[in-house]
Amino acid sequence: MFGGMGNMGNMAGMMKKVQKMQNEMKKMQDELKRKTVEATSGGGAVKIVMDGEKQVQQLIIDPSAVDPEDVEMLQDLLMAAFNESTKKVDNMMAAEMQKLTGGLGLPPGLF
């Protein structure tokens, strides 16, 4: 059936590799949850620190950025800092994923 035991051995070996990679991915994801990124906007008027789960850990707003006459500017600064920090988390995760799967030649987006 399917060319003898050779294929079964290959399949078992492949399953072990997949299981090992899944364990490494879990470990990497746990590590990434603890890492943080920092993004600023408005020349540092707004600063966001975000963890690997995209949860904001710290939000700092310089009092000079708070102008009751120009709330839109503060909203724009917050959006810019939040979007930048989210992008940095995505880039950090992609870089770690590349380290883990780089040698396997897997198609992007498989995991």
Q: Do the domain assignments include residue 71?
A: yes
3-state secondary structure of 53: coil
C-alpha pair distances (Å), 79 with each of 28, 41, 42, 85, 106: 28, 9, 11, 10, 35
Length of the chain in terms of residues written: 111
User: What CATH number does the domain containing 61 carry?
Assistant: 3.30.1310.10
Please give the model's pTM, rounded to 2 decimal places. 0.71
Q: Do the domain assignments include residue 50?
A: yes
Q: Do the domain assignments include residue 14?
A: no
**Domain that includes residue 46, residue range:** 31-100
Residue-level pLDDT, tens digit, the chain, 111 residues: 455 556 677 888 888 888 888 888 888 888 888 899 999 999 999 999 999 999 999 999 999 999 999 999 999 999 999 999 999 999 998 888 888 777 565 555 555
